[in-house]
């Protein structure tokens, strides 16, 4: 009996399951949680899905997205005997868990920096997305996938691989995508909603953001900054900056790209690498985490201070002799 069987055995016994997804939810967290929730409901189990933030507007095509409840106060959360954290590497990603949930806590994730914070930790860093792990779990359980569940799982894998572009794209993630499409998922439908349904304000914000571009390390490091004033001016929210870090990354010769986004309490830093530098190590050293090629952290300081703190760390990792001298 392996971990998959153990988790299935536990889920089968439970009358209901509480699901948690990380703050600033992405397509993987949302799609994985919704697919698992629908599977559990098909087995006559009640589920709650909780998140710190609202579902970004361009993910509101996901079947049953309205069932995801935004939680800001302790009393807002109801617990079933089993809680499952999804795509969440540490408890800092689940700020509404002021205390440990009662009952069994299961942690399903694919981040190498996962803190193994559950009683059962199904953590597979080689998986392209948590959606891949959920797919395997449901398959092992022998539950038939509905088109809605398949759409959620396809969105999870498709978005976490950047539309099957990033370094985590594998034969298996493509095979799962193919199998989900065979079940009826429309790749065009998903791609249109995820990547072609933005607000005009987002485009204006992108313009302002790109005008902040700075390069250093002989063009091997690039970063951009998003301030709250810029978001106010363009009537946009934090979700509108998703994917922005891929623009500095798309410059030829850039090995690491950074996005500094001003938040209510400080700065959210997104780090991306084309492979030579492990940005999860840098993000972890700053209290965050993630993957080798995509990581992030929250800093309690100004954007200027955040740039001054993070840029030298990346320059050190790039071991660049002309750091900070060019722009
Ligand atoms: P993003 O930059 O798109 O927000 O996140 C990139 C990756 O880093 C994702 O896999 C995300 O889960 C992880 N990540 C982002 N911010 C944090 C953070 O503050 N803490 C941890 N542990 N991981 C983060
Ligand atoms: Mn993920």
Q: Over the stretch 299-314, which tens digit does the pLDDT of each residue have?
A: 999 999 999 999 999 9
From CA 17, how far away is CA 45, in angstroms rounded?
7
pLDDT of 74: 79
pLDDT of 320: 67
Q: Which residues contact 70 (CB under 8 A, 6 or more apart)?
A: 50, 51, 52, 53, 54
The number of the ligand 1 atom at minimal distance from the alpha carbon of 24 is: 4
The number of the ligand 1 atom at minimal distance from the alpha carbon of 298 is: 19
* Ligand showing the shortest atom-to-Cα distance for residue 263: 1
Q: Over the stretch 90-132, which tens digit does the pLDDT of each residue have?
A: 999 998 888 899 999 999 999 999 999 999 999 999 999 999 9
Average pLDDT over the chain, rounded to an integer: 96
Q: What percent of the chain has pLDDT over 90?
A: 93
Structural domains of the chain in order of their starting residue, each with its CATH number? 3-195 (3.90.1640.10), 201-326 (3.10.310.30)
Residues 41-45, mean pLDDT to the nearest whole number: 98
**Has residue 327 got a pLDDT over 80?**
no
Residue of minimum CA distance from atom 13 in ligand 1: 290
At CA 48, angle to CA 128 and CA 58, rounded to 5?
A: 55
CA distances from 146 to 35, 111, 225, 293 (A): 9, 27, 41, 32
* Ligand showing the shortest atom-to-Cα distance for residue 270: 1
Ligand 1 contact, 234 CB (< 6 A): no
CA of 321 relative to ligand 2 center, distance in Å: 34
Top pLDDT among 53 and 75 is at 53
pLDDT band at 286 (very low <50, low <70, confident <90, very high): very high
CA of 325 relative to ligand 2 center, distance in Å: 36
**Has residue 70 got a pLDDT over 90?**
yes
Residue with tokens 């361009």: 58
CA of 142 relative to ligand 1 center, distance in Å: 32
Ligand 1 contact, 289 CB (< 6 A): yes
CA distances from 303 to 19, 164, 224, 264 (A): 33, 32, 11, 12
The pTM of this model reads: 0.94
Residues 257-280, mean pLDDT to the nearest whole number: 96
């Amino acid at each position: 009996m392996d971990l998959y069987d153990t988790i299935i055995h536990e889920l089968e016994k439970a009358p209901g399951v509480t699901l948690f997804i990380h703050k600033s939810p992405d397509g993987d967290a949302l799609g994985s949680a919704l697919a698992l929730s629908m599977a559990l409901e098909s087995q006559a189990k009640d589920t709650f899905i909780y998140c710190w933030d609202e579902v970004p507007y361009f993910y509101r095509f996901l079947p049953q997205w309205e069932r995801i409840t935004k939680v800001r106060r302790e009393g807002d959360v109801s617990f079933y005997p089993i809680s499952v954290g999804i795509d969440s590497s540490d408890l800092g990603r689940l700020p509404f868990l002021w205390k440990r949930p009662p009952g069994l806590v299961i942690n399903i994730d694919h981040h190498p920096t996962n803190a193994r914070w559950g009683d059962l930790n199904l953590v597979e860093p080689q998986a392209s997305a948590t959606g891949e792990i959920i797919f395997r779990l449901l398959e092992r359980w022998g539950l038939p996938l509905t088109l809605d569940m398949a759409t959620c799982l396809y969105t999870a894998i498709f978005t976490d691989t950047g539309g099957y572009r990033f370094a985590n794209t594998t034969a298996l993630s493509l095979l799962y995508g193919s199998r989900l499409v065979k079940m009826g998922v429309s790749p065009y439908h998903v791609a249109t909603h995820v990547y072609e349904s933005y607000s005009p304000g987002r485009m204006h914000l992108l313009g302002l953001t790109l005008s902040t571009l700075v390069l250093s390390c002989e063009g091997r490091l690039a970063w951009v900054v998003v301030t709250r004033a810029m978001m106010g001016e363009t009537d946009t929210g934090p979700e509108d900056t998703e994917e922005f870090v891929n623009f500095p990354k798309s410059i030829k010769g850039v090995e690491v790209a950074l996005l500094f986004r001003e938040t209510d309490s400080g700065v959210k830093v997104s780090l991306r690498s084309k492979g030579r530098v492990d940005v999860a190590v840098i993000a972890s050293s700053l209290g965050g985490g993630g993957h080798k090629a995509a990581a992030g952290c929250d800093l309690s300081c100004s954007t200027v201070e955040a740039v001054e703190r993070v840029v030298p760390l990346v320059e050190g990792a790039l071991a660049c002799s002309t750091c900070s001298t060019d722009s």
